Every structure is written in C-alpha cells, then in structure tokens.
C-alpha cells in the first residue's frame, strides 16, 4: 500500500510524543529568519551601526569629552533602540509577509489553533534580541574601558531590552495581523516606532520648569512612553549610580506595555489571524457609528436657533 492509499482507520488526533505546534512554528520561523538570511542581514547592519557609534564616541573630539559612564549609557541606549526596531520589523513582516508570499493559507488549513501559530511566530520575532545583546557586549566593554559601569550596563541593559524587545515584536505582529501587505505593515510599524522614539531624542531630560504643573506634565509624558522611561531608568542607574530599586517604578510602563501587547496579541490578534486582514470590514461598523454621530450633530447644529 502506498502513502497515497489510505491507511484505513484515519488518524485524527495528535500522536504521543508529537511536538507542540507553537514549538514547530517557532523552529520553522527561526530557520526562515536566520538560515534564510533576513535576520543575519539585519544583524550585520546592526553590528556596523554599533561599530560606527563606538568609533565616533572614541574618536570624535566633542563626544570624547563625555564622561565614561555617559558614553556607556549612550551605547546601551543605542543598542536597545536599534534592537527594538529590528524586533518590530521582524514582527511586522511575520504575518503580512506570509500573506504576500501566499504561505499563510497552508498554515491556516492545519488544525493548529491561531493562538499557537502566533505564539511560535512571536517567539521567533523576539529572537534577534539575545543575538543583538551578545553582539553589543564587546562594544559596551570596549567603551567602558574596564570600569565597573560595564557590569551594571550589561545587567540592566539586558533586563530593559528583554522587557522591551518582545513588546515591540508583539506590537509589530499585531500591526502585521491587521495589514494585508508588508508595505502597509512596515509603514504603520515605523510610525509607531517614531512615536516612541522621537520624544526620547527630541526632548531632553525633564528640567526644572517654571511651574510644578509643567514639570509634572513633562515627567508624566516621559513616564508613559516605555522607551523614554526605560532610558531614564538606565540613566539613573548607570550615570547617577542610583540603586535600581529606587527607580524601579520607571520600568512599570515597559512591563505594562509588554503585558498589554501579549494580551492584545492573544485576545485580538489570534481571532484576526485570517487569510485576508479585512480591516475595512472591522472598521466599517465604527465608521458607520462615527458617520451617524456626525450627521446627527450636523443636523442638531443646523436646527440650532443661534444659527438663525
């Protein structure tokens, strides 16, 4: 009897010793990501960027005047920012890319639950972070020039990145689940990334403002941005030598952001993992509601006595 022939009694359930589906998907995604070359290429770019940044810190006369701890802090901040971007775009490509390559349908046709598929993809999307961290260590060590700040940088850089990297990978995946094309997914992800990144680069540290209210506003804006608050945490720990426990509150938002992303991915991403994203279908009821509200408001305004 050939394999094309039926075995008679059809097998319908998983056999004993079968691997969990999330693990199978994770392994396949890792293979595609790393052996396929996509992640390797991104890591190469990351390594070059890190090298250039470390070189400029060491040779640029102005940057060279920075205290050692600040240089290490800048390197840690840069490594994390670039790693988050890599995790975000790997996540952003994970579902919409499969839609574009027409490989998603094959996966959706298996008995695997959507949640298990997403978990496997999520873990693979976060996989660039440990590699990026391993690449960053020698640079951090070189810049710290044997100072004890390297140990704190290695520990707290790893902690902060390990919270933020999966969160950004998850955010990218959420966007990817809702987009039919990679282009849309990448553009939306880039927009989100800039929303998080720009406040950390454009605005300086909270300064003493003329009023306490203004200072509080600035402080809150920084606190709600997980990238900004984790940068502040690293600054306090690495440069100001504050005990981590004293500024641990600054890691609240990164942790909340990670939890929120995972919950959204499981609760809303899994049911939305379909052959076509169908965002328009899901937005239509809300749009109809907004349009209705607009019409009724406009109608009310036109009947208003003040308008004559």
Residues that bind another protein (CB under 8 A): 1-7, 10-19, 21, 24, 28, 31-32, 35-36, 98, 101-103, 105-113, 274-275, 281, 284
Residue number with CB closer to another protein (113 or 201): 113
In angstroms, what is the minimal distance from the CB of 37 to another protein? Answer: 8
In angstroms, what is the minimal distance from the CB of 102 to another protein? Answer: 3
Inter-residue contact 75 to 139 (CB < 8 Å): yes
Residue number with CB closer to another protein (64 or 103): 103
244-248 — which CB contacts under 8 Å span 24+ positions?
Answer: 244/156
Residue number with CB closer to another protein (197 or 270): 270
In angstroms, what is the minimal distance from the CB of 111 to another protein? Answer: 5
Residue number with CB closer to another protein (31 or 138): 31
In angstroms, what is the minimal distance from the CB of 181 to another protein? Answer: 14
In angstroms, what is the minimal distance from the CB of 10 to another protein? Answer: 5
Q: Which of 233, 235, 230, 220 is nearest to 257 (CA)?
A: 230
Q: Which of 82, 257, 77, 280 is nearest to 170 (CA)?
A: 257
CA distance 12 to 26: 23
Residue number with CB closer to another protein (110 or 209): 110
């Amino acid at each position: 009897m050939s394999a094309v022939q039926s075995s008679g009694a059809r097998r319908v359930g998983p056999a004993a010793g079968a691997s969990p589906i999330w693990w199978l998907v994770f392994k396949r995604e890792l293979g595609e990501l790393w052996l396929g070359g996509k992640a390797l290429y991104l890591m190469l770019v990351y390594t070059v960027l890190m090298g250039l940044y470390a070189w400029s810190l060491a040779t640029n006369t102005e940057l060279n005047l920075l205290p050692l701890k600040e240089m290490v802090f800048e390197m840690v901040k840069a490594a994390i920012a670039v790693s988050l971007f890599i995790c975000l775009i790997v996540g952003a490509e994970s579902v919409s890319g499969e839609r574009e390559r027409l490989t998603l349908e094959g996966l959706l046709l298996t008995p695997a639950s959507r949640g298990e598929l997403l978990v496997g993809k999520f873990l693979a999307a976060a996989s660039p972070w440990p590699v990026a961290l391993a690449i960053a260590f020698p640079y951090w060590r070189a810049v710290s020039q044997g100072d004890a700040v390297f140990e704190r940088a290695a520990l707290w850089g790893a902690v902060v990145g390990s919270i933020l990297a999966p969160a950004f990978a998850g955010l990218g995946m959420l966007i990817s689940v809702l987009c039919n094309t990679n282009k849309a997914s990448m553009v939306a992800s880039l927009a989100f990334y800039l929303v998080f990144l720009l406040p950390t680069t454009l605005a300086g540290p909270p300064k003493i403002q003329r009023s306490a209210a203004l200072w509080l506003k600035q402080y809150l804006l920084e606190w709600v941005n997980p990238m900004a608050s984790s940068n502040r945490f690293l600054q306090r720990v690495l440069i100001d030598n504050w005990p981590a426990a004293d500024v641990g509150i600054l890691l609240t938002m990164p942790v909340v952001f990670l939890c929120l992303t995972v919950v959204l991915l499981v609760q809303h991403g899994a049911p939305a993992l379909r052959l076509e994203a169908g965002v328009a279908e899901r937005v239509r009821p809300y749009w109809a509601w907004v349009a209705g509200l607009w019409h009724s408001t406009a109608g009310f305004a036109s009947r208003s006595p003040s308008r004559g």
